[in-house]
Structure 1
């Protein structure tokens, strides 16, 4: 049963990774297009809003793509075991990129918010928690607490994948309810982050119980 749940989570994660990478590529294209030909976008659109602050958006989006790729590699058990030195090297890069992504997310929430106050609060919570988890991921591996480290890394990665779920919730709100991006952004961030937080915590607690049961045998 535990293996089935893990495989389901892996399958969902793969789909979310692909969707998030596609979204990131699309976002870069929109940023460039908004600079070259802003007239094709509606006034006060999120594309024009973020294009006015393109530098921080490029940092966030490009770092996010590197984050997804390095994180995906780290979570493949075969590669971790067979290429331990590469695993450690990419692990350091992953935590560095995670730091950049979280700081840029906090900066975007504070300096250039697009949605309502709920979006700002959600992004602040999201960015701050990822930053905290990144620090914990670093300190636990330095202390050679490998299992705790793996849990924090999984938190970082799976919670960050909530960005794909957030986009899907936003699309649903826009298409079905006819809401604007501004209207759905805050609620979408809060729901997506909360959903991923609950799922990963349930999975980690399940793994802890399994280890305790094995240790007691």
Structure 2
């Protein structure tokens, strides 16, 4: 990716992470979301917090793990941050899978967010298992897939902004964001991997 795209990823990840932290840490939970979702969020506050805060850490740490200069010059820091990142992915993923069952928008949202959580957890597991087996390229590929799903936190909010900006009813467009926030990201990750002439190397 070129420098402009990389910079946008760093900036957007940091901004959304900071926004989410302050919104969920300092505002009443119901005020951090659309009015249509307040009752549901307040009814499952523990699940929301268990999902949001680990996910924020993963979102902010993720881009730094792809910085080649940082990785080569600070390999031990890279490894430690990688462990923290993946721990947050697993915590955020399992709590996200739980919360997907209560997501606003009915079955379309439930299935979309559930698949996102399952793929997030699964790709994190493969990223970890591949580096344990010293399969460096496979690890890089799986991390690209995994962070594309982490980045759904950003694309979800971009989608919300677009939906509100063009005047679509929240109840109409939100269920589809449960898919649109991660499927395009995942396709981009696969295109990047294909461009590098590599494979996921699951085994």
**Partner Cα separation in structure 1 for residue 66 and residue 29 of structure 2:** 35
Contact 2:145 2:189 in 1 (8 A): yes
1:194 aligns with 2:183: yes
Identify the residue that residue 53 of structure 1 maps to in structure 2: 44
1:121 aligns with 2:117: no
Contact 2:127 2:143 in 1 (8 A): yes
Contact 1:16 1:161 in 2 (8 A): no
| 1:18 aligned counterpart, secondary structure | helix
**Partner Cα separation in structure 1 for residue 133 and residue 54 of structure 2:** 27
Higher helix share: 1
**Partner Cα separation in structure 2 for residue 42 and residue 13 of structure 1:** 24
Identify the residue that residue 214 of structure 1 maps to in structure 2: none
Instruction: Kindly state the Cα deviation for residue 143 of structure 1 after the two structures are TM-superposed.
Output: 0.7
Aligned alpha-carbon RMSD (Å): 2.4
Instruction: Kindly state the Cα deviation for residue 108 of structure 1 after the two structures are TM-superposed.
Output: 0.5
**Partner Cα separation in structure 2 for residue 22 and residue 41 of structure 1:** 13
1:32 aligns with 2:28: yes
**Partner Cα separation in structure 2 for residue 174 and residue 96 of structure 1:** 34
Instruction: Kindly state the Cα deviation for residue 8 of structure 1 after the two structures are TM-superposed.
Output: 4.2
* TM-score normalised according to structure 1 size: 0.81
1:108 aligns with 2:99: yes
Q: Which of the two has higher C-alpha Rg?
A: 1
Instruction: Kindly state the Cα deviation for residue 113 of structure 1 after the two structures are TM-superposed.
Output: 1.8
Deviations 1:17-72 (A, max 9, x none): 034214413540575254xxxxx899962133212211111111111111122223
1:161 aligns with 2:161: no
Q: Which runs of 5+ in 1 are unaligned?
A: 35-39, 210-217
Query: Relative to 1, partners in 2 of residues 1:26 and 1:185: Cα closer, same or farther, differing over 3 Å?
Result: farther
Query: Relative to 1, partners in 2 of residues 1:179 and 1:148: Cα closer, same or farther, differing over 3 Å?
Result: same
**Partner Cα separation in structure 2 for residue 6 and residue 44 of structure 1:** 39
Q: Which runs of 5+ in 2 are unaligned?
A: 199-203
Identify the residue that residue 171 of structure 1 maps to in structure 2: 161
Instruction: Kindly state the Cα deviation for residue 125 of structure 1 after the two structures are TM-superposed.
Output: 1.0
Identify the residue that residue 66 of structure 1 maps to in structure 2: 57
Identify the residue that residue 37 of structure 1 maps to in structure 2: none
1:11 aligns with 2:11: no
Identify the residue that residue 203 of structure 1 maps to in structure 2: 192
Contact 1:31 1:47 in 2 (8 A): no
Contact 2:37 2:104 in 1 (8 A): yes
